Amino acid sequence: MKLYMSIISGFLLLSMLASISFLISKKSNLDINKTSPFECGFSNFNSSRMSFSIHFFMVAIIFLMFDIEVAIMLPMFISLKFMKVYQWMMTSLTIVTLITYGLYHEWINGVIEWAK
């Protein structure tokens, strides 16, 4: 019974705080100068939304993928103490094979090539 009451009171408190923050955070559309970009006292001549290279975005995504894969590989050396050598080698080989296949797939699709 106490568990249900604490869950219900927590949910009520959470929903009350969420609705209060939603009401407080309403932005006013009355002053357009506050929402426009300001550059050294001059009005901007171009749009503030500059397009960027999709290739740069893809390289950033590849970097994040390999960064996560390295984070997955780091505990492998600690797990060597708790696993048999054969199991450890198969697990390591599977992870390295998946990483190599991902790199090969990106290379074949031309994502890694900087200039075309």
DSSP 80: T
Total-model pTM: 0.46
Give me the percent of the chain exceeding a pLDDT of 90.
12
Give dist(CA 7, CA 3) in Å, integer. Answer: 6
Q: Identify the sign of the CA torsion 54, 55, 58, 60.
A: negative
**3-52 pLDDT, tens digit each:** 888 999 999 999 999 998 888 876 655 556 666 666 566 666 666 566 66
**Helix ranges, the chain (H):** 2-24, 32-35, 54-73, 75-79, 85-108
